[in-house]
């Protein structure tokens, strides 16, 4: 969930409880964030949507990321695997501005320097992040969650509590179908299964039309059937979005990397001790002795 969305959810809850609205004309939000950012143009003419180079993050002298470099192409689906503590989540923290590295560079496209931006602003330029734990607004319906996500988009902010246009209604209907929650639209989100909540959160991210989606252990806690459906959902997003998927579920990684149009070209990156240990097709990394030793052979 993005900071913008969190704020929109708080506003919706306040409205629900009859409390005064924050932000808007009175400037609460602007006062909090200081300014409205006009994001730089995303330039992907060189084919790369995300470029990390020589990233180092230390926690009290311990290097959580150590000379980490990664290059993700536009429309690519990249799976990232590796043992607990390898630095996978920390890498996402760096991309989203939650953690500033001690060293290195991080670019969105070829021109947007992520390290020079704040977390709130990065969430606005087309990078969506799904944390491991589902974070939806439990007291709102499925439909209302998607509606909020749509309206939390800065371009639609002015109409936060106004009626949806027919085009917006269509977008929500399409999303409900895509995330398999059409029959649950009026249900309170808090009553959904864990897997359904995960889908709803993914749907909320997609309402904001991110160019790059970062998904941290999206199928953790899902049933086999939910996992299978999630693989299908991600495969359907490929191309239109670039995806970075961190998972321990190797069956799921197998589904993502051996299906879809670009299956032959798909790469898996193995992180270990804060660096890239191996990168290649799933078959290549599975056959890599070092990878078997530190991760797959467990």
Ligand X SMILES: Nc1ncnc2c1ncn2[C@@H]1O[C@H](COP(=O)(O)OP(=O)(O)OP(=O)(O)O)[C@@H](O)[C@H]1O
Q: Does 89 bind Mg ion (CB under 5 A)?
A: yes
Question: Which spans of this chain sit near ligand X (rule: CB under 6 A)?
Answer: 59, 64, 82, 84-90
What does 84 bind: Mg ion, ligand X, none (CB cut-off 5 to 8 Å by kind)? ligand X
Q: Which residues contact 169 (CB under 8 A, 6 or more apart)?
A: none
- For 65, list phi and psi in degrees, rounded to 5: -125, 135
Report yes or no: 38 and 104 within 8 Å, Cβ to Cβ.
no
Binding part of the chain for Mg ion, among 85-93, 197-205, 233-241, 277-285 by CB under 5 A, reads 85-93
Q: Which is nearer to Mg ion, 143 or 252 (CB)?
A: 252
Which among 25, 216, 208, 20 has a CA at the least distance from the CA of 127? 208
The verdict on 208 binding Mg ion (CB under 5 A) reads: no
Cα(273)–Cα(256) distance, rounded to whole angstroms? 25
Its sign, for the CA torsion 217, 96, 41, 80, is negative
Residue 192 Cβ, how far from ligand X at the closest point, in Å?
24
Residue 99 contacts Mg ion per CB under 5 A:
no
Mutual orientation of helices 142-152 and 194-207 as an angle, nearest 10°?
Answer: 30
Q: How far is the CB of 208 from ligand X (least distance, A)?
A: 24
Region from 28-36, 39-47, 51-59, 89-97 binding Mg ion, contact rule CB under 5 A = 89-97
124 belongs to the binding site for Mg ion (CB under 5 A): no
Helices 166-178, 194-207: crossing angle, 10 deg rounding: 140
In the complex, least distance from residue 132 CB atom to ligand X, rounded to whole angstroms: 7
Taking the complex as a whole, the smallest distance from the CB of residue 86 to ligand X amounts, in Å, to: 4
| From the list Mg ion, ligand X, none, partner contacted by residue 87 (C-beta under 5 to 8 A by kind) | ligand X
CA end-to-end span of the chain, whole Å? 33
Question: In the bound complex, what is the minimum distance in angstroms from residue 88's beta carbon to ligand X?
Answer: 3
Q: What residues line the site for Mg ion (CB under 5 A)? A: 88-89
């Amino acid at each position: 969930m993005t900071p913008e969305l969190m704020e929109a959810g708080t506003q919706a809850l306040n409205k629900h409880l009859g409390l005064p609205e924050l932000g808007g004309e009175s400037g609460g939000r602007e006062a909090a964030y200081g300014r409205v950012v006009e994001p730089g143009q995303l330039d992907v003419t060189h084919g790369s949507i995300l470029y990390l180079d020589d990233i180092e993050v230390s926690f009290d002298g311990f290097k959580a990321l150590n000379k980490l470099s990664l290059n993700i192409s536009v429309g690519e689906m990249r799976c990232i695997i590796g043992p607990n503590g390898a630095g996978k989540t920390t890498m996402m923290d760096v991309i989203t501005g939650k953690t500033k590295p001690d060293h290195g560079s991080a670019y969105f496209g070829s021109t947007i320097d992520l390290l020079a931006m704040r977390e709130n602003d990065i969430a606005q330029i087309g990078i969506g992040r799904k944390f491991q734990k589902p974070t939806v607004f439990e007291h709102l319906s499925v439909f209302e969650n998607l509606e909020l996500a749509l309206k939390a988009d800065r371009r639609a902010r002015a109409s936060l509590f106004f009626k949806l246009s027919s085009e917006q209604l269509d977008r929500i209907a399409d999303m409900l179908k895509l995330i398999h929650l059409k029959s649950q639209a009026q249900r309170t989100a808090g009553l959904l299964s864990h897997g359904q909540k995960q889908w709803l959160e993914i749907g909320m991210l997609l309402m904001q039309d991110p160019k790059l989606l970062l998904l941290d252990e999206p199928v953790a806690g899902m049933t086999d059937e939910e996992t299978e459906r999630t693989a299908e959902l991600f495969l359907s997003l490929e191309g239109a979005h670039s995806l970075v998927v961190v998972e321990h579920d190797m069956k799921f990684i197998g589904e993502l990397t051996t299906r879809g149009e670009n299956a032959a070209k798909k790469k898996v990156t193995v992180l270990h001790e804060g660096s890239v240990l191996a990168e290649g097709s799933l078959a290549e990394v599975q056959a890599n002795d070092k990878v078997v030793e530190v991760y797959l052979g467990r």
